[in-house]
């Protein structure tokens, strides 16, 4: 996922209680818990065939509960116990593997049917508990699935374009190294003061150019957001990335997700191409289409947790 994508995972949740043998398991069988990836109405199991999921010891499968179907997998109760899960999340490589596997299953389901993605590490003690959870939120899930029908999520990121190179302001003439502007040895007070003021003016001017560049980028980002919102049925602002992700050469000024009718993809792409030509102060990136991650738990048609 991106993640960037998409940018922005839901909080991880440990198993509901310390793992033990569930009613579905037979004596001698290693204890498992039910890991839930997503919820849909119906999902063709063939779309999930061959997916390793989180643990390739058991297949990714569907679990029916009335009008709803969960996409699930049996995983080791020991490996997904609270302490083991916490340790796994501190291992960057393992966390990335699990996050990618979670995303892969959700995207496979959403490719064939409207899907509500569930947060990473949504665990139940067994199928019975998973079905009970679906029944408890059946109305909300059905409303979200209706809202997601024929729609996908797109991500738009806007960054400041690299500023024109600017040389550092030269110190005033006659200023010796390590000497404050305006008090250089061998210069008259009037001349030194004039040179010092010119130096400070250049510093202020450079600062004003940077500030104006940032303001231009912020205003451009708002115009981009307004255009894409005009095509969307729902939108959500996400937290911009810091320099550890973007690098020091540009600033992230807009990170947003939009729920858009699938039929409007070409319209979206054309609109952003026009914006790229018009908004030279920024760089515009489009990602997607994604399952509606950013709208699965919020007021814009998502499922309240």
Each residue's pLDDT tens digit, 111-152: 999 999 999 999 999 999 999 999 999 999 999 999 999 999
Q: 152-171 pLDDT, tens per residue? A: 999 999 999 776 555 555 55
Counting Cβ atoms within 10 Å, is residue 237 exposed (0-12), middle (13-18) or buried (19+)?
A: exposed
Tell me how far CA of residue 89 lies from CA of 13, 79, 86, in angstroms: 11, 12, 5
Cα(12)–Cα(98) distance, rounded to whole angstroms?
12
pLDDT band, very low/low/confident/very high, at 204 (cuts 50, 70, 90): low
Average pLDDT of the chain is 81
pLDDT band at 251 (very low <50, low <70, confident <90, very high): confident
Higher-pLDDT residue of 120, 20? 120
- How many residues are listed for the chain in this entry? 305
CA–CA separation, 174 vs 168, rounded Å? 17
Q: Is 33 helix (H, G, I), strand (E, B) or coil?
A: strand
Confidence of residue 203 (pLDDT cuts 50, 70, 90): low
Average pLDDT for 195-202: 67
The token duo for 204 is 């202020």
> DSSP assignment of 216-262, as one string?
HHHHHHHHHHHHHHTT-SEEEE-PPP-HHHH-TT--EEEEEEEEEEG
pLDDT reading at 26 higher than 60: no
CA distances from 60 to 109, 146, 148 (A): 11, 24, 23
Predicted structure pTM score:
0.73
Q: For the segment 35-57, what is each residue's pLDDT rounded down to a tens digit?
A: 999 999 999 999 999 999 998 88
């Amino acid at each position: 996922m991106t993640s960037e994508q998409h940018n922005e995972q839901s909080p991880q949740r440990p198993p509901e209680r310390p793992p033990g043998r569930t009613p579905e398991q037979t004596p001698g069988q290693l204890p498992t818990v039910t890991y839930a990836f997503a919820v849909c109405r119906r999902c063709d199991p063939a779309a999930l065939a061959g997916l390793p999921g989180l643990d390739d010891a058991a297949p990714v499968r569907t679990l029916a509960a009335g009008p709803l179907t969960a996409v699930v997998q049996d995983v080791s109760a020991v490996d997904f116990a609270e302490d083991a899960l916490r340790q796994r999340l501190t291992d960057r490589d393992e966390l990335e593997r699990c996050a990618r596997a979670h995303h892969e299953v959700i995207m496979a389901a959403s490719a064939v049917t409207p899907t509500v993605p569930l947060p990473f590490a949504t665990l139940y003690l067994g199928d019975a508990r998973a079905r009970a959870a679906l029944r408890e939120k059946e109305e909300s899930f059905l409303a979200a699935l209706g809202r997601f029908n024929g729609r996908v999520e797109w991500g738009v990121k806007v960054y400041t374009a690299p500023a024109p190179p600017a040389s550092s302001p030269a110190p005033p003439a006659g200023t010796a190294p390590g000497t404050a502007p305006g008090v250089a040895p061998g210069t008259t007070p009037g001349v030194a003061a004039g040179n010092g003021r010119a130096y400070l003016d250049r510093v202020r001017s450079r600062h004003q150019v940077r500030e104006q560049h940032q303001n231009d980028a912020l205003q451009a980002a708002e115009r981009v957001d307004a255009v894409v919102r005009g095509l969307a049925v729902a939108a959500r602002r996400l937290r911009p990335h810091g320099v550890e992700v973007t690098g020091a050469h540009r600033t992230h000024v807009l990170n947003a997700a939009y729920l858009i009718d699938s039929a409007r993809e070409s319209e979206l792409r054309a609109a952003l191409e026009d914006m790229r030509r018009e908004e030279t102060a920024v760089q515009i990136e489009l990602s997607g289409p994604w399952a509606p991650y950013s709208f699965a738990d919020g007021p814009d048609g998502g499922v309240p947790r």
